[in-house]
Structure 1
Amino acid sequence: MKQLSLDNLRTFVTVVNEAGYAKAGDILGKSQPAISVQIKRLEQQLSTRLFNKQGQRQVVNHEGLKLYQTAQKMLALNDELFSQFQPTLLKGRIRLGIPSEFATTLLPSIIGEFSKLYPEVSLEVTSALSKSLLSKDNENAFDLTMALVNPTTHVEGQVLLDDKLVWVSDKSIPYTNNTISLVVAPDGCVYRTRIINTLKQQTQAWRISYTNADLSGITAAIQQGLGISALARSSVPAELDIIQHKNLPDLGYIKICLITGNTQHPQACAKLAEFIRSKLVK
């Protein structure tokens, strides 16, 4: 099967655009004899002349103009294909809001890889409770916000995952307590609200033994035997175990959403969103 060389076609298009071999050679970094060889090769493959000589100049003819139109399309498709597989040079500052527990478990794997591929993009990260991240006070504070939302709550954003809420405890401390001791985040935490509302519907006794807004603090308290907690399955750190017990009620699901704000750097923001999505949804 015959195949035309894209390199020869690019040379041909450049000659037509620049109206001469010499100028085309300057642009392409090739000698006039090399340009001439490429044009002759095209003419041999197509069995037709592409230029007519007028004085000392080579002027594209009717057949050449037909090839010119098709060659432009072929080169455009070639360039578009390559652009899809080459990292775009992104610049700018992205303000990311992310729940505290995901800042601990998810963010480190994103930051390293993203920063290596896009060193000109600076990330400004704020970790807080989802309620705070989505508050009116922070309406224009973030370019991209990751947040936990109850299944019935409507949010203007993309739902990345309907994640299961699971009970967690320390690996070395078996759960046998009759009274459920809870290690939770402060008021406003979607986990805390779900846990308490669910337990209020049960006959099982419970109490809050420790409160901390940070996942590392919650994890440390659990490891010290102060109690158990609940997290979205995708945010459970390696130090903790998912547990099931007859005294522990089912907590249902939570939506993990990604909301794009009014950003000055939409391309960088979209790329960061793609990274978060790829790490979370497996």
Structure 2
Amino acid sequence: MNQRLPIDVLRALRSIVELGSVTRAAESLNLSQSAVSWKIKRLEKQLGRDLIRREGQRLVATNEGAELLIHARRILNSHDEALALFAPSTLEGVVRLGVTEQASLPQLAPILARFARQHGNVDVQVVVEQSQALRQSLVQGDLDLALHQDFSHALSAEDHLLWSERLHWCVPAGWQYTPDATVSLVTYGPGCFYGSLAQDRLQAAGIRCKVAVQCPYSDGVLSAISAGLGIGIVAGGNIDLRVETGRAFQRSMPLPEVANVLRYSQRKHDPILQALQQMLAQALTRTPEVAGVQG
């Protein structure tokens, strides 16, 4: 068996798993889809193992592929750090990045770490806030780039769409609406546009409501709903088994999709900002894929 693990093949494997598709991996590597697919097939044949499998709309690593990726990331990090010694990035400065809780730090951390290795003289400062606060900070110049969330119809022409998801009415287990009762709401706080949407929908349906709990984090919102302190609107990606979907409300008061997008501040032409935006967009953009390894 050929014992060599070529750098370009390991990079293709990492890109596919991080981006979820051959299509996006090929774009990030400036290669054709067929070239990326061939690299993975050649590696699987060399090792005698399946390394990639499809899970829903994304390509993910098999168990053996995940084991290989642990070593691949170490190899690629060391390789890129060695190259950086002899071809260092010329970018330097500070980027202030705002993100919502929906863009989890465990997901962002490896992307930002890779950016830091490639651009050692760039300081990326991260702030986690609600979308409305992030947008305001962009306008005020307190942030340079924000990953925020808004209704799909309200997006700016300059927003780069990463992914969309459905909103759901979430209720405690076994909860049912009692006619003429006042519904208690759990929201993410005063700036929560989910909370405003919930109040608008309920009032339009002639249902009285009041805000009972305000918490800026999904775990607290779900805990409050689960404990029976109220109901609330939660994005599909954050729902867990602690709560149920309020099917009656889903049917009578359907909710729109929300979009998770990247938006620049006035510094949009800054090379540092463009480099970070490109890396985040490549890693986080989710697109529907066709079946098969060409996805």
The alignment status of 1:102 with 2:102, answered yes or no, reads yes
Q: CA deviation at 1:226?
A: 0.9
RMSD of Structure 2 on Structure 1 (CA): 3.3
1:86-110 CA-to-partner distances (Å, cap 9, x unmatched) read 89766755422122x315xx33122
Taking a change above 3 Å as real, the CA distance of residues 207 and 185 of structure 1, as seen in their structure-2 partners, is same
Q: CA deviation at 1:233?
A: 1.9
- State the match for 1:33 in structure 2: none
Taking a change above 3 Å as real, the CA distance of residues 158 and 130 of structure 1, as seen in their structure-2 partners, is same
1:150-180 CA-to-partner distances (Å, cap 9, x unmatched) read 333241212333432112245xx22224243
2:185 and 2:230 in contact (8 A); partners too: yes
Taking a change above 3 Å as real, the CA distance of residues 244 and 177 of structure 1, as seen in their structure-2 partners, is closer
The alignment status of 1:216 with 2:224, answered yes or no, reads no
Partner SS, residue 164 of structure 1: strand
Partner SS, residue 240 of structure 2: coil
1:181-217 CA-to-partner distances (Å, cap 9, x unmatched) read 2100223322111111111111334332211222232
The alignment status of 1:268 with 2:276, answered yes or no, reads yes
Q: How many angstroms apart in 2 are the aligned matches of 1:281 and 1:217?
A: 31
- State the match for 1:16 in structure 2: none
Taking a change above 3 Å as real, the CA distance of residues 217 and 244 of structure 1, as seen in their structure-2 partners, is closer
2:96 and 2:124 in contact (8 A); partners too: yes
Q: CA deviation at 1:145?
A: 0.9
Taking a change above 3 Å as real, the CA distance of residues 124 and 211 of structure 1, as seen in their structure-2 partners, is same
Letter in 1 for 2:199: I
The alignment status of 1:167 with 2:169, answered yes or no, reads yes
Structure 2 portions without partners, runs of 5+ = 1-29, 37-75, 290-295
Q: Any residues of structure 2 matched to 1:168-247 within 5 Å, and which?
A: 168-169=170-171, 173-178=173-178, 179=181, 180-234=183-237, 236-241=238-243, 243-247=245-249
Q: How many angstroms apart in 1 are the aligned matches of 2:191 and 2:284?
A: 24
- State the match for 1:66 in structure 2: none
1:148 and 1:190 in contact (8 A); partners too: no
Structure 1 portions without partners, runs of 5+ = 1-79
Q: How many angstroms apart in 2 are the aligned matches of 1:126 and 1:225?
A: 31
- State the match for 1:53 in structure 2: none
Q: CA deviation at 1:240?
A: 4.2
Letter in 1 for 2:220: G
Partner SS, residue 246 of structure 1: helix
Q: How many angstroms apart in 2 are the aligned matches of 1:118 and 1:151?
A: 29
Q: How many angstroms apart in 1 are the aligned matches of 2:154 and 2:107?
A: 29
Letter in 2 for 1:166: H
Q: CA deviation at 1:129?
A: 1.9
Percentage of matched positions with identical amino acids: 19
Taking a change above 3 Å as real, the CA distance of residues 273 and 118 of structure 1, as seen in their structure-2 partners, is same
- State the match for 1:114 in structure 2: 111
Would you say how many aligned residue pairs link Structure 1 and Structure 2?
Answer: 193
Letter in 1 for 2:195: R
**TM-score of the pair, normalised by structure 1:** 0.57
- State the match for 1:257 in structure 2: 261
